[in-house]
Amino acid sequence: MPDVPAGWPPALIATFGGTGHLRPAPGTWGSIAAGVVALAFLTFLPSACYWLLPLVAATATVGGVWASGIYARRVGIEDPPEVVIDEVAGVWVAVLLIPGPVAVASPLLATTLSVLVFRLFDIAKPWPLSLLESLPGGWGIMADDLAAGLLAGGLAAAVLR
């Protein structure tokens, strides 16, 4: 595998600060890390969940498309397992779909359910999610997880209502 410089910004973003290097199951570790961040928002900054968490999720998505595409080209693997920014963005999308008052009232339940349901969809990759992996570059890495986040968030929101 080609050498990836320590501290290289695309690698830091794509691996969510190195979380993607945890083994086994780096995608699960990335999802858990995203859940911890979302839980912190819901617990300590509940009013920020209405403007800051969506901004952070959008930034992770845009930055993730850019960084994961560059990282994948650098290492020569279409979807490297250590790239977990897609899981991070997907979990945050799932959390954002739970109505704010419900998520703030039960933050641990909301984030745990979001992470678990997201991982279910991310691992199973039901049709049409699996088709999104064929998109080029960073979009192919990110799109299926964003869609899994939409499905997971919708299901989690329905369960928690």
CA angle 76, 3, 77 (to 5 degrees): 15
Peptide bond connecting 107 to the previous residue in cis, omega within 30 degrees of 0: no
142 in helix, strand or coil?
helix
CA triple 161-48-46, angle to 5 deg: 50
How many Å apart are CA 139 and CA 116, to the nearest integer?
Answer: 23
- pLDDT tens for the chain, 161 residues long, are 567 776 889 999 999 999 999 999 999 999 999 999 999 999 998 777 778 889 999 999 999 999 999 999 999 999 999 999 999 999 999 999 999 889 999 999 999 999 999 999 999 998 888 899 899 999 999 999 999 999 999 999 999 98
Task: Note the pLDDT of residue 52.
Answer: 87
Distances (CA, A) of 46 to 41, 43, 102, 129: 6, 6, 11, 31
Read off the pTM: 0.94
